[in-house]
Amino acid sequence: MILRRTLLIASTAVAAAASMATMTAAARARGTATATATTPLHLAPARDQIAALRRRTTTSRALLEQYLQHIDRTNPGLNAVITLDADAARAAADAADRHLARTGKPLGALHGLPVTVKDALETKGLRSTCGAPDLTDHVPDRDADAVARLRAAGAVIVGKTNVPVMCQDLQTSNPLFGTTKNPYDATKTAGGSSGGPAAAVASGISSLELGSDLAGSLRLPAAYCGVYALRPSGGIVPTRGHIPRPPGWLSSSDMLTLGPIARTPDDLDVALDVLAAPAPAEAAAWRIELPAPRRRRLADYRVGLWQDDPYCHVDETIRRLLDEVAGILRSAGASVDDTTRPVQLAESDRLFQRLMFATASATATDAGFADDVAAADRIPADDPSGLFLHSRTMRHRDWLRANEDREKLRGHWADYFTDHDVLITPAVPSTCVDDQTSTPVPSRFITVDGQKRPYFDQTAWLNLAGHVRLPAVVMPAGRTTDGLPLAIQIIGPYLADRTVIDMAKHLARKLPEPAQPPAFTA
């Protein structure tokens, strides 16, 4: 593991303040905050850390030193943080403290809060590799737009977290930095491509992370690491500066969304307030004001429930979990519909794959793309084995037809959400799978009810929301008998991001306490 760091040296006074910082307010209802009167501040929810900073019961520098000490103890066994920028983080924390002392006003909504950022996002002055050997020494001179929003809100960027090479795997490992471990079980995967971010949040290395999601890259690791993740509605968070596309590109995939990972649903709200905004070039003309949650009480919600599907059967453990969620909702007085479906899962997933393979071709070399075209021409159009190449090389007219199918699909979802406020589905077909980073991708698999299944079935349920621009939260929902996290997915109408977060808050108060990995209190 390669770390850019300085020694964790602080004065006795600062170290004492850091080690003794605690929450002064009583714990609020679980799901809103999980802190207690003796919780070290760096392990509290981000919202509580921000409140303590504003009350000046601690300083950004003292909080940062707690984080750096926790990273020093915890990260070697996880490999979640792969580039640490302690010098710059200390300078930013000191600047935040001076500003508050001088003006009495915070820098912004995240004033002084230490955060980590997925290594797929360009970060000014800090190595940003996306796990790719040819980007080993890439140090951007400009922040990704979303990273710039974190800084403008007062966040202190501590370092970068691990990803698979160019974010192109469901497990997190690369030749530069190695493998990120699942914080609950080192033999299991942390997921991908935001495996480093999810492991960092789960283990207390960060209370808030900025990651990215195309085919479940935020939500799959969140499910496997027992934390919350929000895939925001498509288009509401600027994506320029995400790798891939290559450094310097202004465009990105039309299916890519950037969003937060956190340990509470409240903290998803905190991050959403900062991240949801027009791209800088458009900010002079308009702004985003997301609507409030559709309902005030859990009893008033109209909930769709999709427990299983022949296209992607889920494990018995997941089916039982969805049964329990249905019981909780009905006991609370919510309306639960477990029969109607907004779309056909198989048809939706096939369209998702076609559009994903097509958008990934943008950065192919001319020679490489020509080879793909020639190879696709040798495969009959109706041969399922040609889905990847036919999609990757489709003519613009074919893409326009596929995009029209996407818009029709969005219409089906909109119709469904006239009678339903949210849809709850499995997040993944099974609990977190074995680490298979040493196994070639074609030979990998998952196991569902004792049967081998295709490796990429892990994302079939997550793909429901991706291409149709819907907001989706994955949240922890208890644990297995051997202590592994369980999770569910909550999908909502377009731009109803606050509604899916609100449903997560309601359910968090009813579901079992989320598991904490050993590293959390190390």
| 153-196 pLDDT per residue, tens | 999 999 999 999 999 999 999 999 999 999 999 999 999 999 99
How sure is the predictor about 11, in pLDDT bands with cuts at 50, 70 and 90? Answer: very low
pLDDT, position 327: 98
Question: How does residue 17 score in pLDDT terms, banded at 50, 70 and 90?
Answer: very low
Which amino acid, 203? S
Q: What are 255-284's pLDDT values in tens digits?
A: 999 999 999 999 999 999 999 999 999 999
Q: With respect to residue 6, please indicate whether it lies within any of the assigned structural domains.
A: no
Q: What is the pLDDT of residue 292?
A: 98
Question: For residue 465, what are the CA distances in angstroms to 144, 184, 212, 413, 435?
Answer: 24, 28, 14, 10, 26
Residue with tokens 């006991």: 331
> Domain total for the chain?
2
Rounded CA-CA distance 241/143 in Å is: 7
Which string of b and e fits 478-513 if b means at least 16 CB within 10 Å?
bbeeeebbbbbbbbbbbbbbbbbbbbbbbbbebbee
Instruction: Please give the Cα distance from 493 to 488 (Å, whole number).
Output: 17
Give mean pLDDT, residues 228-248: 97
In a domain, 225, yes or no: yes
Q: CA 429 to CA 432: how far, in whole Å?
A: 9
Report the alpha-carbon distance of residue 131 to residue 162 in Å, rounded.
7
Q: Which of these is catalytic: 60, 128, 193, 206?
A: 193
Q: Which pairing describes strands 445-448 and 335-337: parallel, antiparallel, or unpaired?
A: unpaired
On whether residue 518 sits in a domain, the answer given is no
Q: 50-59, 99-108, 216-225, 513-522: lowest mean pLDDT where?
A: 513-522
CA angle (267 as vertex; 220, 470 as ends), nearest 5:
50
Do 288 and 302 belong together in one domain? no
Angle between helix 46-55 and helix 86-103 axes, rounded to 10 deg: 50
What b/e string do you get for 343-378 counting C-beta neighbours within 10 Å, with b at 16 or more?
A: bebeebbbbbbbbbbbbbbeeeeeeeeeebeeebee
DSSP SS3 for 256: coil
Instruction: Based on the fold, state whether residues 168 and 249 are members of the same structural domain.
Output: yes
Q: Does 328 share its domain with 474?
A: yes
253 falls within a domain: yes
Q: What is the pLDDT of residue 58?
A: 98
149 and 39, same domain (yes or no): yes
The answer to whether the predicted template modeling score (pTM) of the entire model surpasses 0.75 is: yes
Structure tokens at 412: 């089906």
Task: Please report which confidence band the pLDDT of residue 324 belongs to, taking 50, 70 and 90 as the band edges.
Answer: very high
Residue 374 has pLDDT above 60, yes or no: yes
The tokens for 281 are 């070039």
Locate 270 and state its tokens: 């905190």
- Asked whether residue 239 falls in the same domain as residue 319, the answer is no
Q: Residue 516: inside a domain, yes or no?
A: no
- Residues 422-435, buried b or exposed e (16+ Cβ, 10 A)? bbbbbbbbbbbbbb
pLDDT of residue 522: 76
Categorise residue 5: left if φ over 0, alpha if ψ from -120 to 50, beta otherwise.
beta
Angle at 466 between CA 343 and CA 426, to 5 degrees: 65
Residue 513 is predicted with a pLDDT of 83
DSSP 32: T
Q: How far apart are CA 188 and CA 191, in angstroms?
A: 9
Which of 235, 257, 292 corresponds to the end of one domain?
292
Residue 118 falls in the annotated catalytic set: yes
pLDDT at 2: 38
Mean of the per-residue pLDDT values for the chain? 93
C-alpha 22/C-alpha 36 separation (Å) is 8
Determine, yes or no, domain membership for 4: no
Q: Which two tokens stand for residue 171?
A: 């497990």
**Same structural domain for residues 243 and 363?**
no
Residue of 206, 207, 217, 253 marked active site: 217
Band of the pLDDT at 329, cuts 50, 70, 90? Answer: very high
- Pair 60, 103 in one domain: yes
Statement: residue 339 has pLDDT above 50: yes
Question: What pLDDT, on a 0 to 100 scale, did the predictor assign at position 33?
Answer: 45
Distance CA 143, CA 157 (A): 11
Kindly name the residue from 118, 160, 181, 505 that is annotated as catalytic.
118
**Helix H segments across 276-315?**
none
Which residues, 6+ apart, have CB-to-CB distance to 451 below 8 Å?
A: none
Q: Starting at the edge strand that comes first in sequence, how are the strands of the sheet with 257-262 ordered?
A: 81-84, 156-161, 114-118, 208-213, 257-262, 228-231, 472-479, 485-491, 422-426, 302-305, 335-337
SS3 state at 209: strand
How far from chain centre, in Å, is Cα 356? Answer: 18
Does a structural domain hold residue 521? no
Distance separating alpha carbons of residues 507 and 438, to the nearest angstrom: 37
pLDDT of residue 4: 36
- Looking at residue 37, its pLDDT comes to 56
**Does 109 lie in the same domain as 68?**
yes
Question: Looking at the structure, do residues 167 and 312 belong to the same domain, yes or no?
Answer: no
Q: Are residues 120 and 259 in the same domain?
A: yes
Clarify whether residues 40 and 173 are in a common domain: yes
The string of DSSP codes covering 217-229 is TTHHHHHHHT-EE
The answer for residues whose C-beta is within 8 angstroms of residue 470's C-beta and 6 or more apart is 233, 234, 413, 464, 491, 492, 493, 494
Among the candidates 273, 292, 311, a domain finishes at 292
Q: Containing domain of residue 380, as a range?
A: 298-508
* Residue 341 predicted with pLDDT over 90: yes
* Residue 193 known to be catalytic: yes
Instruction: Give backbone dihedrals phi and psi of 353, rounded to 5 degrees, phi first.
Output: -65, -45
Interval 408-435 mean pLDDT:
97
Of the candidates 57, 76, 90, 70, the residue with the CA atom closest to the CA atom of residue 3? 76
Task: Give me the CATH number covering residue 499.
Answer: 3.90.1300.10
* Least confident span in 434-438, 494-498, 517-521: 517-521
Residue 165 falls within a domain, yes or no? Answer: yes
Percent of the chain with pLDDT over 90: 90
What is the residue type of 334? A
- pLDDT above 50 (res 6): no
Same domain as 483, residue 417: yes
Mean pLDDT, to the nearest integer, of 32-43? Answer: 69
What is the reported pLDDT for 386?
Answer: 94
Residue 38: band (very low, low, confident or very high) from pLDDT cuts 50, 70, 90: confident
How would residue 321 be classed by pLDDT, with cut points 50, 70 and 90? very high
DSSP-derived pairing of the beta strands 257-262 and 208-213? antiparallel
The pLDDT value recorded for residue 141 is 97
Which residue, of 276, 292, 308, is where some domain finishes?
Answer: 292
Q: What is the pLDDT of residue 39?
A: 83
